[in-house]
Amino acid sequence: MTHALLTKLGLDNHPRVITDVRGDETPEKDNVILSMNPATGKPIAGVTLDSKEDYERITAQAAEAFKEFRKIPAPKRGELVRRIGNAYRDVLEELGSLETLEMGKIKAEGIGEVQETIDIADFAVGQSRQLWGKTMPSERPEHAMKEQWLPLGPVGIITAFNFPNAVWGWNAMLAAVCGDTCVWKPSLMAPLTCIATNEIAQRVASEMGYENIFQYVIGTDDIVGESMINDKRYPLISATGSCRMGRHVGATVAKRLGKCLLELGGNNAVIITEDANLDLALKSTVFGSVGTAGQRCTTSRRLIIHESIADDFCDKLVKAYETVKIGDPLEDGVLMGPLINEQSVQAYEHAVKSAKEQGATVLTGGERITDMPGELAGGHFVKPTIIRVPSSNELPIAMEETFAPILYVFTFKTLEEAIDMQNSVDQGLSSAIFTGASNSAQRFLDPSGAGSDCGLAYVNLGTSGAEIGGAFGGEKDTGGGRESGSDAWKAYMRRQTCTIGFGDTLALAQGIKFE
């Protein structure tokens, strides 16, 4: 299966990929990283790392390519992106399966992620004919004013392991129609997905005569990451990862007066009122909390439910959790795969232990799985977990984001109390309410800002599963960035105000006379 997949995607004889690896030992080269299968704990392939010299060469190529690519009319750049989207359609299942193999999300989610990149490519094609500015009246006679949006430059794209294809797609497809070149630094836990994804995009670009538009640099944070965020040749750094990482990236880029697009952590809550459709809420909560083994930034981590229905709902939730099939994520019918590595399992165990010490009760789960069959015995599997918070609603560990399938259950009396609880964490990415009352829904979406303080707010939907038509991102420690739909393209361009005089006399603004 693995060899056939690598062959289909052109990785079996790729100069950067070493397929002859065994055990968990890095090949006899200092510049090789192993891509590990989290479902088995065994290596898939080795990938050679880039050096500082490689980084300099690739960055110089991106900067040089930008000078010509920006001159290509935007609709023509849109045609490039359209063809890239079609190329991904040709390998949709294979590329999605590679994601599953490399980071452990179930196959349906892996394919769905690649579909998301295809969708954003379609969206970007339309945007390529709508990169418009405004015209405005001038206070001076015989003058005209307008604003226009211009290509920004090479964009550095730093992605995390959990969405190794789509997050790059959100950035790269829009950046390309805006006239920017892209250099991608992927997570070292998902280098194969990066290589396969980028090679397809650049192959299409090369066929159209555009070289070095899409490039990648696979390297360590100290050699590649620090170089990129300190490099003035990148006017924009788009970084996805932890809040800790984002603070460092944001501060470093700000020192050189560059721009940042940050998509960081989330500690997302689902509010369920007593008049909600509980069947719908149950299904959405299970998917939101268990999907991708809790390794989404939009994972449902806190359930805030009205006290009158909490006991009965928790009983149903426990039964639903215990039916979740855990196993090989490439296998049909499996609903949850492994965590990415042993460190993630340990973080999961630490969170569960801390919750118990802080007075919470584990309703189901709370343990790593040690009896997986066959090769899966070496995988990083845990049980999806529900933890009931004490009636005081005080649980410090729940204020932290643990990238694992742990759901903390809180109770509330009034909707105002529930919204305050939801907004009490440092992050502000995704939020949801299930209610049958229009007043409750509107209070949650209060246009004064007194409702949800998150960048994403859903009514009768879970916290996961954003569509590409709306800009994706969050507030507070989530970073404030916006990617994907809406007017997110503006992040990849610079605005210029243009004033044109077409008379023969000097006219100054604010009525100033200079004779």
CATH number at residue 420: 3.40.309.10
What is residue 2's predicted lDDT score, i.e. its pLDDT? 87
The one-letter amino acid code at 440 reads S
pLDDT band at residue 515 using 50, 70 and 90 as cut-offs: confident
Q: Give the rounded percent of residues in the chain with a pLDDT score beyond 90.
A: 95
Q: Are 106 and 334 spatial neighbours (Cβ–Cβ below 8 Å)?
A: yes
Residue 47 counted as domain residue: no
pLDDT band at residue 27 using 50, 70 and 90 as cut-offs: low
By CB neighbour count within 10 A (0-12 exposed, 13-18 middle, 19+ buried), where does 354 fall? middle
Helices (H) and strands (E) in the chain, counts: 14, 22
Question: What's the whole-number mean pLDDT along residues 423-432?
Answer: 98
Residue 6 counted as domain residue: no
Query: Domain span at residue 423?
Result: 268-468
pLDDT tens digits for range 337-360: 999 999 999 999 999 999 999 999
> 236 and 347 in one domain?
no
Residue 515 counted as domain residue: no
* Averaged pLDDT of the chain: 96
What is residue 465's predicted lDDT score, i.e. its pLDDT? 87
> 273 and 401 in one domain?
yes
Angstrom distance (rounded) from CA 270 to CA 80: 40
Token pair, residue 372, equals 């997986």
Q: What is the CA radius of gyration of the chain?
A: 25
Identify the CATH number of the domain in which residue 259 sits: 3.40.605.10
> 278 and 186 in one domain?
no
Residue 2 counted as domain residue: no
Catalytic residue among 182, 243, 297, 314: 297
Helix/strand/coil for 164? coil
Count up the domains in the chain and report the number.
2
SS3 per residue for 422-488: HCCCCEECEEEEECCCHHHHHHHCCCCCCCCCCCEEEECCCCCCCCCCCEECCEECCCCCCEECCCH
Catalytic residue among 99, 113, 263, 483: 263
> 240 and 128 in one domain?
yes
> 194 and 319 in one domain?
no
Beta strands in 22-154 (DSSP E): 32-37, 42-48, 135-136, 143-151
Residue 24 has pLDDT above 60, yes or no: no
Strand order, beta sheet including 32-37: 17-18, 42-48, 32-37
**Annotated catalytic, 263?**
yes
Residue 29 has pLDDT above 70, yes or no: no
Residue 28 has pLDDT above 70, yes or no: no
pTM: 0.96
> 260 and 278 in one domain?
no
Question: What's the whole-number mean pLDDT along residues 362-389?
Answer: 98
Helices (H), 92-208: 92-103, 107-127, 166-177, 191-207
> 442 and 376 in one domain?
yes
> 284 and 204 in one domain?
no
**Annotated catalytic, 147?**
no
